[in-house]
Structure 1
């Protein structure tokens, strides 16, 4: 392109909505400084000029290397003066032959140089007289008339179905013929849409706060697993964290076999990408350079984590016992305890990510009797502890409602039918594989029987006592079942008999003092605030000591 472009940045001192707006620091530099730097980084702008009635703004203009600083006449600095004569004056003051003039107001500090260039390029290619930079502002609007108020749109469609409505931002391109005639928009007009956050136009303090919030947003890539083998715990944690990250951007990463995670992400409307292996994922991180990569995939290798860090990203891992922990910036293991953790490790229930349904559920204030027992072993229930527990309850004489919630990976639920049919009449059993709310069911339970996983912490947040059985050696390492007096651990599945389960349940039913001791012990644990602690670690913010 041979056309020459002059950028004019109008910045007067008399701002009313936000006093001294153009010289206030937005982030680490004055507002007008952002406009100058954006224009200087543009590939298509040849000369950057600041027109101002302020010596302070003029000094900032020189400090940030504006090519020209124009002393704007007093008659062009009044509140009622439109931009067109200001741009015309600036154009006449700058030496050189220019084909187009870009008016770039300092009130749009987030627009990127590449977006500015895209708009300029589109206008030149289309030989447009002017280019108006806009954002999609599609909403239901009303206008005032002599008869009251009238809807701009006559129908009441959902916003997604409406005809788009666009709003101007403080950037526009004009051909020199328009500028010399005291105009800025006219003739053939091209519209260039920018992302909503780039087009935030600061007129009020609320606008400023919104823009500051977007300026500090960081990109997080959350790699997560969720399938028939490893259950839903990882993806539940990822979605729960994402629900609390309004101030940052998040994209999930999964592998093709993560069918449960993919279904849940689609159902939650979160963005995700599918990667075949570690190599393709690392390539993606190298290309996008997110601020932080979270690995919620269990054990990692040293080579894998080292490659992520070499790409420039902060690396935070969940429940990682692999060699990669030595190279990660932080490792969060809520399911484990450690008396003397390494500097970058955070252990224990304080770092559990509690789902929203439990954060707002009702905690147990007393358990005067045991009428309802909940059984939930989650995942695939590799030792079929569900069946073993039902059989253990068969000889109880108490009138009990038994609420069984199977994991999504539990195969052939019909195998439980003969067991249930053989149970005595004093036991009323309900079996479900998918439930709307686990918290609601736990609220109704007087005792939970489960494995040594995340369900322990969810029950703990509700002060619901637990009998736990570890499915395998890894679960046996989860110490919450041992450090909390609200949980009675029966040991690893291979060594737990039906008689042990039956005896533990019987003792719990008959000993009210024991129930109250277990319930109050759980009440001492602050599990609900784990999400805030995790966010501080993930984004390397100030956080409390372990």
Structure 2
């Protein structure tokens, strides 16, 4: 009997980061228990992202060149469901797939491009953390933190003891701009060094070795972790987290960190507005020396707790991985 097929169309790598790819890997892990389901991964744009995914998944991973090649591979695989986890999918492709009667699911529909074509949409970041369920033309849209996908074993790290002097910095898997990570760490460290903090820096697979060598050479007294398998044990021990405007915010919230966010691109800026509105983080608006000095004096002070904003500790309670899996399976099983 032929297995039910899913095509997972994902982008990620040096420029776009690895969060989309890790989401696909985590879903693939839980679907391995369903022996009647087989997932095929399609990656476009970034060869480094493709190579990273190929190393993790090993088989059924394809690198695509253009929209024509993309459509041809999808149709040749005859999936029952096509999942898009990308920043920018053309409406033209959605129209072609709907015409062929493929079912479509989308993670993070930036710009509402999929609303008239998808059967399922999961917007965890782009429309804020509050849970909502909405009807769309061909199906259902799920919003908010309950649908945020973590690694399958995140729960076992939650009860480790916190270190109130620990701060973790994590800006994703790659670098949006050349020299970006070096610039960020130099400026942040210059303002953080006056505090007696144990600082961790997590660097993803897209950060160049030359950047890591320079960071080590400059002797910031920061513990550097490169391409960490999971960051959960560090986050659970950390009192503070400095990150961008992506999924790591939810991971920090899950472990009840006090989170400071700095936007690395426009869509992260929009995400941070919604995170801050719901008390998940405080935004670092710029990297100016005087601004950072005052920012950390006001928000990192251990003595003057009354000046610290209250953070929501109840937004993230469970791993959305299993809930999303159930919704996807229901879509596969519906006639």
* TM, length-normalised to structure 1: 0.52
Is contact 1:370–1:509 with CA below 8 Å preserved after alignment?
no
Check 1:235–1:536 CA distance in 2 against 1; reply closer, same or farther (3 A cut). same
Which whole-Å deviations, capped at 9, do the CAs of 1:299-346 have from their partners, x for residues lacking one? 222211111122221011112224344322222221122698662432
Measure, in 1, the Cα distance between the counterparts of 2:57 and 2:307: 41
Is contact 1:333–1:346 with CA below 8 Å preserved after alignment?
yes
Which whole-Å deviations, capped at 9, do the CAs of 1:269-292 have from their partners, x for residues lacking one? 452222222212212222332110
Is contact 1:299–1:319 with CA below 8 Å preserved after alignment?
no
Equivalent position of 2:232 in the other structure? 439
DSSP 3-state at the match of 1:243: helix
Matches within 5 A, 1:462-481: 462-478=255-271, 479-481=273-275
Instruction: Give the Å deviation of 1:221.
Output: 0.8
Equivalent position of 1:262 in the other structure? 51
Return the match for 1:319 from 108, 112, 121.
Answer: 108
Return the match for 2:282 from 488, 497, 503.
Answer: 488
Check 1:438–1:261 CA distance in 2 against 1; reply closer, same or farther (3 A cut). farther
Is contact 1:373–1:403 with CA below 8 Å preserved after alignment?
yes
Return the match for 2:14 from 224, 228, 239.
Answer: 228
Equivalent position of 1:400 in the other structure? 197
DSSP 3-state at the match of 2:125: coil
DSSP 3-state at the match of 1:470: coil
Equivalent position of 1:337 in the other structure? 127
Matches within 5 A, 1:7-406: 198=1, 218-245=4-31, 246-247=33-34, 248-255=37-44, 257-322=46-111, 323-337=113-127, 343=136, 344-363=140-159, 370-378=164-172, 379-380=174-175, 382=177, 383-384=180-181, 385-394=184-193, 396=194, 398-406=195-203
Measure, in 2, the Cα distance between the counterparts of 1:452 and 1:274: 28
Greater RCO, 1 or 2 (C-alpha within 8 Å, sep 6+): 2
Which whole-Å deviations, capped at 9, do the CAs of 1:247-273 have from their partners, x for residues lacking one? 222111123733234323333445222
Measure, in 1, the Cα distance between the counterparts of 2:261 and 2:46: 29
Is contact 1:331–1:345 with CA below 8 Å preserved after alignment?
yes
Measure, in 2, the Cα distance between the counterparts of 1:258 and 1:484: 37
Instruction: Give the Å deviation of 1:403.
Output: 1.0
Measure, in 2, the Cα distance between the counterparts of 1:221 and 1:530: 20
Kindly indicate whether residue 288 of structure 2 is the aligned counterpart of residue 497 of structure 1: yes
Check 1:375–1:277 CA distance in 2 against 1; reply closer, same or farther (3 A cut). same
Equivalent position of 1:409 in the other structure? 206
Is contact 2:9–2:42 with CA below 8 Å preserved after alignment?
yes
Measure, in 2, the Cα distance between the counterparts of 1:256 and 1:504: 38
Is contact 1:293–1:314 with CA below 8 Å preserved after alignment?
yes
Instruction: Give the Å deviation of 1:416.
Output: 3.2
Instruction: Give the Å deviation of 1:490.
Output: 2.5
Check 1:289–1:527 CA distance in 2 against 1; reply closer, same or farther (3 A cut). farther
Equivalent position of 1:88 in the other structure? none
Is contact 1:222–1:293 with CA below 8 Å preserved after alignment?
yes
Measure, in 2, the Cα distance between the counterparts of 1:359 and 1:430: 25
DSSP 3-state at the match of 1:231: coil
Is contact 1:302–1:326 with CA below 8 Å preserved after alignment?
no
Which whole-Å deviations, capped at 9, do the CAs of 1:174-199 have from their partners, x for residues lacking one? xxxxxxxxxxxxxxxxxxxxxxxx4x
DSSP 3-state at the match of 2:109: coil
Q: Which runs of 5+ in 1 are unaligned?
A: 1-197, 199-213
